Amino acid sequence: MTNFLNVLLDLSVVALFLGGVAQFRNLRRARFGNLTAAFALICSVLLVLYRHGVLDPAYVAIALLAGCSLGWWIAARVNMVQIPAMVAFQHGAGGIAAFLVAYRELTRTDGSLTALGAWSGHLGLIIGAATFSGSMIASGKLANRIRQTPVVLTAHNVILVALLGLIGVLCLLAAFAPGSAPETILVFLMLVSILLGGIFAVRIGGADMPVLISFLNATAGLAAAFCGVSIGNRLLAACGATVAASGSILTHQMCLAMNRPLARVFFPRSTKHPERNATEDTPSLPAAAHDSQLSAAVRAAKQAATIMIIPGYGMAQAQAQFETVWLANRLREVGKQVRFAIHPIAGRMPGHMHVLLAEAEADPDMLVDIRDANPEFQRTDVAVIVGACDVVNPAAIGAPGTPISGMPILKAHEAHHIIVCNLDGRPGYSGVENSLYAAPNAILLFGDARATLQRLIGRLAAENAAPIMQPESMTIHRR
Amino acid sequence: MSDLLIMLAVLIGSFGAGYALISKVPTMLHTPLMSMTNAISAVTILGALLLFASETSPTGKLIGMVALLAAAFNVVGGFVMTDRMLKLFKHPPRRGTGE
């Protein structure tokens, strides 16, 4: 009977977690959902403390207090632009916890570990350790501490397969080793897994980060789930599995957005990346030319009735989200239809652009996704690109055989005018030359996006951008 | 054996429930969603607490403390960061045009 009660208690806490997740379907209730999940987590901690107690409350309290305050302190100060790096870092912390718990469980000497517990313990250890190192590399790349370009070793795939094989051998050794606590083997297993995660992650380039970070989200959940099975804790297993599901969905959606299967993202067929030698073919424009381009941009913006703004990772890097939204709001005030077209893989993690635009208080009604945006570009007077390259590169449609061929793009090239506020004319992370820059209707404003937008805003204000709008063009557009 | 079945049911059930619920989350909330599930994945804190439920060596205690610290960092950091992000989304869409 008490067992039944325990199952019921566990189930209600799991239901609380799922209830929190369910709130995320609605923008207004999401915050409540997050608090619900946090409450559920507190409940589960209390439940464990009540059921099992702790022998060294002082140690537990110190570790908890240190972890909590450190987590709070960093999370309260992190800049919205650094969110992807921070999320990856936290995945890594979760990985550490998972593999240490699994390690301790496997080396317990009281012999109460079942075969199921042992196998899932090993899996938790391997996945946790690999998640840890993979996340740390991802975090370093996202925070620009490590170069974001892919690092490809000679025979990269062979090394990965060899490491996996080694892991398999170590698992078998651990299973059939004499003695109950093959600690050395487990430590080796841990180290090899850490190496595997690191070598796996270094090859992923900046633009593929949304896939990697979602994938690590899934593996962090999976590691927790296996830990839960290993120690026979239903709550832990259930929560881990839910997170694994969430991470899998996001990974799948990111792959769909790039039109590449997961295997092609992680194990690219052609490892040669085109050299980023574009510095010589697009010299930085002389100031005078820049000025004439700026005038052209101002003219185009003033005459436009419909404007589509396309933000990308460059906007995040330049921290230009405030200027971008400010420009959008000013243009909207004078009666223009302004919207943000957001590519699913713009930025460095799923939904990255949405958070930045929300930070700058963009009206959520102005955001449109790729499916709704693309039919609109033919009727769009001006497309403003802010720090986006690959996601608007027409080569994805026109040129076969490039790394981005077949990727759905935002069809900015169909707009009447294109204002490009990118840092320079070099290719994006895919390394594919962007033919958009050569288009006759493209107005190139190369330079720091934030500074460029400030100049654009200044010029618009100086010329007293009163509602200059062709009445006939108004009637063409719906709404 | 029944343990195995219960565990399997728990794993498959929560994976399925999570999958069904999360497929319906709008793209706009994907970053906060990942940040929150990231915090939830640190339920390994339960495992770390359980390490202290039985007698262990000093090394065991040290490992347990590191695991606790990392998990607590992940939990609190994840939830706080998610809350900060969701606060940004609070501006209601119906605030109208203009500002």
CB contact under 8 A, A241 and B4: no
Asked whether the predicted pLDDT for residue A155 surpasses 90, the reply is no
pLDDT at A179: 59
Question: Which residue is closest to A229 within chain B, CA to CA?
Answer: B7
Per-residue pLDDT band for B82 (boundaries 50, 70, 90) equals: very high
CB contacts under 8 A, A 315-374 vs B, are: 329, 332-333, 342, 344, 349-352, 354-355, 358-359, 361, 363-365, 367, 369
**A259 and A138 share a domain?**
yes
Pick the closest to residue A449 from A349, A346, A337, A311 (CA basis): A311
Number of domains in chain B: 1
Question: Which residue is closest to A93 within chain B, CA to CA?
Answer: B70
Pick the closest to residue B33 from A318, A29, A81, A433 (CA basis): A29
CA–CA gap between residue A320 and residue A386 (Å, rounded) = 8
Q: What is the H or E stretch that residue A310 is in?
A: strand A306-311
Asked whether the predicted pLDDT for residue A276 surpasses 50, the reply is no
Q: What is the dihedral of CA B59, B61, B62, B67, to 10 degrees?
A: 130
Q: What is the H or E stretch that residue A339 is in?
A: strand A337-342
Q: Is A337 helix (H, G, I), strand (E, B) or coil?
A: strand
pLDDT at A207: 77
CA–CA gap between residue A323 and residue B90 (Å, rounded) = 20
Domain boundary among A49, A77, A105: A77
CA–CA gap between residue A56 and residue A40 (Å, rounded) = 24
| Residue A259 per-residue DSSP state | T
**A311 interfaces chain B, CB cutoff of 8 Å:** no
Determine the structural domain holding residue A398 and report its residue range.
287-476
**A105 and A69 share a domain?**
no
Structure tokens at A34: 């997050």
Question: Which residue is closest to A214 within chain B, CA to CA?
Answer: B34
CB contact under 8 A, B45 and A37: no
Q: CB burial class (10 A; 0-12, 13-18, 19+) of residue A468?
A: middle
Taking only the tens place, the pLDDT of each residue in A205-215 is 777 888 999 99
Determine the structural domain holding residue B53 and report its residue range.
27-92
**A229 and A299 share a domain?**
no
Asked whether the predicted pLDDT for residue A281 surpasses 70, the reply is no
A250 Cβ neighbours under 8 A, 6+ residues apart = A214, A217, A218, A350, B30, B33, B34
Domain boundary among A206, A239, A272: A272
Q: How many CB atoms lie within 10 A of CB B26?
A: 16
Residue A280 lies in a domain: no
Q: Which residues make beta-bridge pairs with A340?
A: A309, A367
Taking only the tens place, the pLDDT of each residue in B24-66 is 888 888 999 999 999 999 999 999 999 888 877 888 889 999 9
pLDDT at A196: 93
**A421 and A366 share a domain?**
yes
Per-residue pLDDT band for B76 (boundaries 50, 70, 90) equals: very high
CB contact under 8 A, A44 and B6: no
Question: A150 near A202, Cβ under 8 Å?
Answer: yes
Mean pLDDT for all residues in chain A: 84
Domain boundary among A225, A241, A272: A272
**A112 and A228 share a domain?**
yes
Asked whether the predicted pLDDT for residue A166 surpasses 70, the reply is yes
CA–CA gap between residue A84 and residue A197 (Å, rounded) = 18
Chain B interface, best mutation among A23, A69, A231, A246, by max B CB count within 10 A: A246
pLDDT at B49: 92
pLDDT at B98: 40
**A108 and A140 share a domain?**
yes
Structure tokens at A53: 């107690």
pLDDT at A471: 36
Rg over alpha carbons for chain A, rounded to the nearest Å, is: 26
pLDDT at A243: 93
**A420 and A300 share a domain?**
yes
- Positive or negative, the CA dihedral B87, B93, B95, B97 is positive
Ranking A34-38, A138-142, A282-286 by mean pLDDT, the lowest is: A282-286
**A164 and A227 share a domain?**
yes
Structure tokens at A227: 């830990």
CA–CA gap between residue A251 and residue A200 (Å, rounded) = 16
Min Cα separation B97/chain A (Å):
7
Partner residue opposite A236 with nearest CB, options B43, B76, B83: B43
**Chain B positions in Cβ-Cβ contact with residue A234 (cut-off 8 Å):** 6-7, 10
Q: Which residues of A are catalytic?
A: 390
CB contact under 8 A, B21 and A21: yes
Number of domains in chain A: 3
Asked whether the predicted pLDDT for residue A277 surpasses 50, the reply is no
Taking only the tens place, the pLDDT of each residue in A349-369 is 888 899 999 988 888 888 998
Structure tokens at A143: 């925070």
Per-residue pLDDT band for A125 (boundaries 50, 70, 90) equals: very high
Residue B12 lies in a domain: no
CA A401 to chain centre: 26
Asked whether the predicted pLDDT for residue A68 surpasses 60, the reply is yes
Asked whether the predicted pLDDT for residue A472 surpasses 50, the reply is no
Q: Give the residue carrying structure tokens 């960092």.
A: B73
Looking at per-residue confidence, does A134 or A304 come out higher? A134
Taking only the tens place, the pLDDT of each residue in A401-441 is 777 888 889 998 889 999 988 888 788 777 788 888 888 88
**A224 interfaces chain B, CB cutoff of 8 Å:** yes
**A102 and A68 share a domain?**
no
- In chain A, what percentage of residues exceed pLDDT 70? 90
pLDDT at A291: 77
Exposure class string for A353-389: b at 16+ Cβ within 10 A, else e: bbbbbbbbbbbbebbbbbeebbebbebbbbbbbbbbb
Partner residue opposite B46 with nearest CB, options A114, A236, A243: A236
Q: What is the H or E stretch that residue A228 is in?
A: helix A209-231
Pick the closest to residue A125 from A190, A184, A198 (CA basis): A190
Residue A70 lies in a domain: yes
Rg over alpha carbons for chain B, rounded to the nearest Å, is: 19
Partner residue opposite A250 with nearest CB, options B10, B30, B56: B30
Residue A468 lies in a domain: yes
**A337 and A451 share a domain?**
yes
Question: A389 near A436, Cβ under 8 Å?
Answer: no
Pick the closest to residue B61 from A327, A58, A452 (CA basis): A58
Mean pLDDT for all residues in chain B: 85
**ipTM of the predicted structure?**
0.89
**A268 and A304 share a domain?**
no
Asked whether the predicted pLDDT for residue A180 surpasses 60, the reply is no
What DSSP letter does each residue of A415-472 carry, written as one string? SSEEEEE-S-SS--TT----GGGG-TTEEE--S-HHHHHHHHHHHHHHTT------HH
**A459 and A314 share a domain?**
yes
Q: Residue A248 to residues A177, A228, B11, B35: CA-CA distances in angstroms?
A: 35, 19, 15, 14
Residue B32 lies in a domain: yes
Partner residue opposite A44 with nearest CB, options B10, B46, B56: B46
pLDDT at A310: 93
Per-residue pLDDT band for A464 (boundaries 50, 70, 90) equals: low
Question: Which residue is closest to B10 within chain A, CA to CA?
Answer: A238
Q: How many CB atoms lie within 10 A of CB A291?
A: 13
Asked whether the predicted pLDDT for residue A474 surpasses 80, the reply is no
pLDDT at B96: 43
- Positive or negative, the CA dihedral A468, A473, A476, A477 is negative
pLDDT at A477: 33
Per-residue pLDDT band for A282 (boundaries 50, 70, 90) equals: very low
Asked whether the predicted pLDDT for residue A473 surpasses 50, the reply is no
Residue B4 lies in a domain: no
According to DSSP H, which parts of A304-348 are helical?
313-318, 321-333
pLDDT at B99: 37
Taking only the tens place, the pLDDT of each residue in A301-346 is 888 889 999 999 889 888 889 999 999 998 888 888 999 999 988 8
Question: Which residue is closest to A90 within chain B, CA to CA?
Answer: B74
Min Cα separation B2/chain A (Å):
12
CB contact under 8 A, B51 and A101: yes
Per-residue pLDDT band for A109 (boundaries 50, 70, 90) equals: low
Residue B85 lies in a domain: yes
Task: Tell me the HSE value of A300 on the side-chain side, using a 13 A CA sphere.
Answer: 24
Q: Give the residue carrying structure tokens 């339920």.
A: B43
Question: A83 near A352, Cβ under 8 Å?
Answer: yes
**A235 interfaces chain B, CB cutoff of 8 Å:** yes
Q: Give the residue carrying structure tokens 């993979």.
A: A134
**A117 interfaces chain B, CB cutoff of 8 Å:** no
| Residue A315 per-residue DSSP state | H
CA–CA gap between residue A402 and residue A390 (Å, rounded) = 11
pLDDT at A275: 45
CB contact under 8 A, A224 and B50: no
